[in-house]
């Protein structure tokens, strides 16, 4: 079965600090991987996606994620956190045509 | 990125009534749309896959007679919650698929918050 695990339901960083949100997937073959961000009372916005073209994927708002097959990971990073980055982040994996499996989400808090 | 809209953004209804939620892809055609629900502090759970011109495919445990899905055009899918009850209160989010193969991406609507009294 396809699953996605996000370690840490809450992450708190200071403004300007490194952001690291963890995502591990379980799959026998490299899947398509996505990171989405959700602001309060809103839908999900695509940050970036991995489709096997390059292991380091750059997304919007300065975020990037690196696909590491040996670790089955797709962690999301940003060098310097902004207050506006405070939101909930979801890692998702797509297998087949229709199936998107979402992680449980990580709520990012940015302290001034 | 592509834009997906939902209407209404929130709705309050009485128990026993039916509620229709619309999902539209504004700048692309989507042969496939998806409906999710999200409970507070939880992740998204896929309810069903909506295919233009054919019947929707429901996930296990989702009542197809309660959650009616219609995908009448390439830009519109509707979810009707029939005879709504308080336990149906949730955040409903749709998404539309753009592209194929490795380029495929799902774009999500802003969600509809349903409160059943």
Write out pLDDT tens, residues B24-42. Answer: 999 888 889 999 998 877 7
Cβ proximity of B104 and A52 under 8 Å: no
CB atoms within 10 A of CB A15: 14
Say if the Cβ atoms of A32 and B102 lie within 8 Å. yes
**CA–CA distance, A3 with B95 (Å, rounded to integer):** 20
Instruction: Give the residue-averaged pLDDT of A79-108.
Output: 89
Nearest to B106 among A52, A100, A103 (CB): A100
Q: What is the pLDDT of residue A77?
A: 98
B57-83 pLDDT, tens per residue? 999 999 999 999 998 889 999 999 999
Nearest to A43 among B102, B105, B110 (CB): B110
Half-sphere exposure of A47 (CA within 13 A, CB side): 27
Higher local confidence (pLDDT), A31 or A4: A4
Closest residue of chain B to A34, computed from CA coordinates = B105
The angle subtended at Cα A105 by Cα B81 and Cα B115, nearest 5°, is 25
Query: Given the DSSP bridges, would you call strands A24-26 and A3-5 parallel, antiparallel or unpaired?
Result: antiparallel
Say if the Cβ atoms of B102 and A103 lie within 8 Å. no
> Is the pLDDT at B112 greater than 90, yes or no?
yes
Say if the Cβ atoms of A100 and B46 lie within 8 Å. yes
Nearest to B105 among A42, A46, A90 (CB): A46
């Amino acid at each position: 079965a396809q699953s996605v695990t996000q370690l840490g339901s809450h992450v708190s960083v200071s403004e300007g600090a490194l952001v690291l949100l963890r995502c591990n997937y379980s799959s026998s073959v490299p899947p398509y991987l996505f990171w989405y961000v959700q602001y309060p009372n809103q839908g999900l916005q695509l940050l970036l996606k991995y489709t096997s073209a390059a292991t380091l994927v750059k997304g919007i708002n300065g975020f990037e994620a690196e696909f590491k097959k040996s670790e089955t990971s797709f962690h999301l990073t940003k060098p310097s956190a902004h207050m506006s980055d405070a939101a909930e982040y979801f890692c998702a994996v797509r297998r087949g045509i229709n199936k998107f499996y979402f992680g449980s989400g990580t709520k990012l808090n940015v302290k001034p | 990125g592509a834009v997906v809209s939902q209407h209404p953004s929130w709705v309050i209804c009485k128990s026993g009534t039916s509620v229709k939620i619309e999902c539209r892809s504004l700048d692309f055609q989507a042969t496939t749309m998806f409906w999710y629900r999200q409970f507070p502090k939880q992740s998204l759970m896929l309810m069903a896959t909506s295919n233009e011109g054919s019947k929707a495919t429901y996930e296990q445990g989702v009542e197809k007679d309660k959650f009616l899905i219609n995908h009448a055009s390439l830009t519109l899918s509707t979810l009707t919650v029939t005879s709504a009850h308080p336990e149906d209160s949730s955040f409903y989010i749709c998404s539309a698929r753009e592209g194929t193969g490795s380029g495929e991406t799902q774009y999500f609507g802003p969600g509809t918050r349903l409160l059943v009294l």
